[in-house]
Amino acid sequence: MYAATGYPVSTVIWQEAAISARVTKFPVFKIFHMRCAISFALGLAFWAATAAAGDSAYPTRPIRLIVGYPPGGSTDIAARLIGQKLAPVFGQSIVVDNRAGASGTIGAAIVAKSDPDGHTLSFAASPEVAIYRALMKNPPYDSLRDFQPITLVGRVPFMLVVHPSVPAASVKELVALAKAKPGTLNFASFGNGTSNHLVGEAFRAATNIDIVHIPYKGSAPAIADLLGGQVQMTFDTIPVVLPQVRAGKLRALAVTTPKRSPLAPEVPTMEEAGVPKFTGGTWFGVLAPAKTPAPVVDRLNREITAILRARDVMQTFIDRGIEPVGDSPAEFRAFIEAETHRWLKVAQDAGVKPE
């Protein structure tokens, strides 16, 4: 209030005190001055109450949490767990709305066009937040312009696995085999431009090998053909491939995390296996429409990150191969920017054309 005058606050307060001392000699001015002081105090109280209400009054109705994938996947499971924990905190139901299609962009587009009041949120993954820019000529939104990041909820690393018939017991042996027989080994993916397709392309570039990409329509058919020996390798989430590794039907060579996974501590990281600074996988987080009020953003961030620190939530995530995160909105925005640039370059280097 005082700072708006352009003078130092101490100077303004001193002048106010001097005026008070003079006007008290004249009853009329004294009454007027007292009324001004009362009005000023009431104004400050109203402003404080309004600012607090922006946080405490939210939410005023059920929250719609849109997931761009069918029920049952890692993103959907995480969204439902967060929604279940968030509902009693907010005193409102959290409705998980699955709007699958177009690699998650259909659901994200709905949120981008929603009212920025915090009652429609996106529980989105890397394809519709970062990778889409490398794949779509005319995307329905700009993730950095049309969304307000809330927090990165979790990362889902991949495990590099090969069919047992492949004569390679380590990443170094696999790379040596690929270089000895260029163009003869292939790797399966969830589909063109998907997260594990681009991780595979990043692996090819990092090791300077010639391997052939075989796209599938999802993880299940890719794993089925890998088990049958129709393809030689893939990057997939740890919970999906680990049972097959334990059964001896696949061989694990490395995980795409900076540290070894607690689910498979015997499997080295890609860096330990000889590919420096190689990480990859998918991830998901919560985003609101752009221009969502700061008090709403702050409360959502505060409550969701607290949930992610709860021991039972952390254990559930870890059991499903998800690394819980929970960062600030600014950190999540910086992460999205870095991921967007990273995968755009990988796609361009691999010759993936936007459609």
Structure-token pair, residue 141: 């939104």
CATH of the domain at 136: 3.40.190.150
Question: Average pLDDT of 45-58?
Answer: 54
Identify whether residues 46 and 103 lie together within a single domain.
no
pLDDT above 70 (res 90): yes
CB contact at 8 A, 164 and 263: no
Identify whether residues 182 and 193 lie together within a single domain.
yes
Q: Is residue 271 part of a domain?
A: no
Q: Is residue 12 part of a domain?
A: yes
Q: Is residue 74 part of a domain?
A: yes
CATH of the domain at 196: 3.40.190.10
Q: Is residue 191 part of a domain?
A: yes
Q: Is residue 268 part of a domain?
A: no
Backbone region of residue 324 per phi and psi (left: phi > 0; alpha: psi in -120 to 50; beta: other values): beta
pLDDT at 103: 83
Count of structural domains, the chain: 3
Last residue of a domain, one of 12, 28, 56: 56
Q: Is residue 94 part of a domain?
A: yes
Identify whether residues 73 and 96 lie together within a single domain.
yes
Q: Rounded distance, CA 154 to CA 53, Å?
A: 30
Q: Is residue 262 part of a domain?
A: no
> What are the pLDDT digits (tens) for 108-167?
999 999 999 999 999 999 999 999 998 899 999 999 999 999 999 999 999 999 999 999
Range of the domain at 288: 63-155+283-350
Identify whether residues 132 and 161 lie together within a single domain.
no
Structure-token pair, residue 45: 């109280």
Q: Rounded distance, CA 72 to CA 331, Å?
A: 28
Last residue of a domain, one of 13, 35, 56: 56
pLDDT at 40: 52
Identify whether residues 98 and 145 lie together within a single domain.
yes
Lowest mean pLDDT among 94-103, 188-197, 286-295: 188-197
Residue 33: exposure state from Cβ atoms within 10 A (0-12, 13-18, ≥19):
middle
> What are the pLDDT digits (tens) for 198-236?
999 999 999 999 999 999 888 889 999 999 999 999 999
Confidence of residue 194 (pLDDT cuts 50, 70, 90): confident
Last residue of a domain, one of 213, 236, 255: 255
pLDDT at 19: 41
Identify whether residues 95 and 18 lie together within a single domain.
no
Q: Is residue 121 part of a domain?
A: yes
